[in-house]
Amino acid sequence: MKQIDVCLTPELLYQHKIDNAIVVVVDIFRATSCMVTGFAYGVQSIIPVASIDECVKLRDQGYYAAAERNGMTPDGFDLDNSPFSYMNEKFVGSTIAVTTTNGTLAITKSRAAVKVMIGSFLNLEALAAYLRTQQYDVLVLCAGWKGKPNLEDTLFAGALVNRLQNDFMISEDAAMMAQRLYVGAQNDLLGFVANSSHVRRLHRLGIHKDISYCLQHDLYDVLPVLRGNQLVRM
């Protein structure tokens, strides 16, 4: 039977065999929620990059560019790290270069996988439905925060495990813990997440609206996948 497992931070990815697995990268606040939103609103492709410098280079080549470091947007970029900044006519059909603190690293580290896909609560059911049809194991890779596990990514991992529990074997404790955590919290995700270290950081920057948005389930039928160095819609 196919297996689903969860890796709580990219620091622990080396413990997982991913060469026969689809890796679902998640960075709920807010990189992967932004990406899914972008594709839902017509963006054609997204180039994840590791550094601000690379992002600046791509911007100078004519791409739109989005950046975030420590929860804030550096000067001179076209988009900030709010999913609402992706809801803009001018990005329809365009390519956006994106760098984020944790999400890009998780994507880069996953390249050995059969497929690298992008997960968020916004496209949870689309993703679950697709993965059910595939023959591969699934590893949910939480981007975390500076190498540490975080609440919101773990909750997403648990949500996906929960949706796939009849189709996949849950063999490792991290997946069990994530599922249990999600099942216990799902009726008040916002209240639960409100205490997380990341949301406390975000609150300081005044963006409650993004948080509520990123916790909405099943808004978009979007399946972002890594092709070469770009994310595209499947």
Smallest gap from residue 105 Cβ to its own copies (A): 15
The single residue listed with the structure tokens 């194991």 is: 137
Smallest gap from residue 148 Cβ to its own copies (A): 6
Distance in angstroms (rounded) separating the CA atoms of residues 177 and 154: 9
Smallest gap from residue 39 Cβ to its own copies (A): 28
Smallest gap from residue 207 Cβ to its own copies (A): 18
Task: Rank residues 178 and 207 by Cβ distance to its own copies and give the closer one.
Answer: 178
Smallest gap from residue 224 Cβ to its own copies (A): 25
Residues that bind its own copies (CB under 8 A): 8-9, 11-12, 15, 145-151, 154, 171-174, 176-177, 180-181, 184-185, 192, 195-198
Alpha helices per DSSP H over the chain: 31-40, 52-60, 103-109, 124-132, 151-163, 173-185, 189-193, 197-204, 208-214
Task: Rank residues 148 and 203 by Cβ distance to its own copies and give the closer one.
Answer: 148
Smallest gap from residue 40 Cβ to its own copies (A): 28
Task: Rank residues 52 and 185 by Cβ distance to its own copies and give the closer one.
Answer: 185
Task: Rank residues 176 and 232 by Cβ distance to its own copies and give the closer one.
Answer: 176
Task: Rank residues 111 and 147 by Cβ distance to its own copies and give the closer one.
Answer: 147
Count Cβ atoms below 10 Å from residue 62 Cβ, excluding itself: 9
Rg, C-alpha atoms of the chain: 16
Q: Name residue 164's amino acid.
A: L
Indicate the pairing of strand 224-227 with strand 230-233.
Answer: antiparallel
Work out the angle between the directed axes of helices 151-163 and 197-204 (0-180°, nearest 10).
120
Task: Rank residues 20 and 147 by Cβ distance to its own copies and give the closer one.
Answer: 147
Count Cβ atoms below 10 Å from residue 96 Cβ, excluding itself: 25
Task: Rank residues 87 and 147 by Cβ distance to its own copies and give the closer one.
Answer: 147
The tokens describing 173, both together, are 């404790």
- Asked if 40 and 220 touch (Cβ cutoff 8 Å), the reply is yes
Task: Look at residue 168 and give its three-state secondary structure.
Answer: coil
Smallest gap from residue 182 Cβ to its own copies (A): 11
Distance in angstroms (rounded) separating the CA atoms of residues 82 and 86: 7
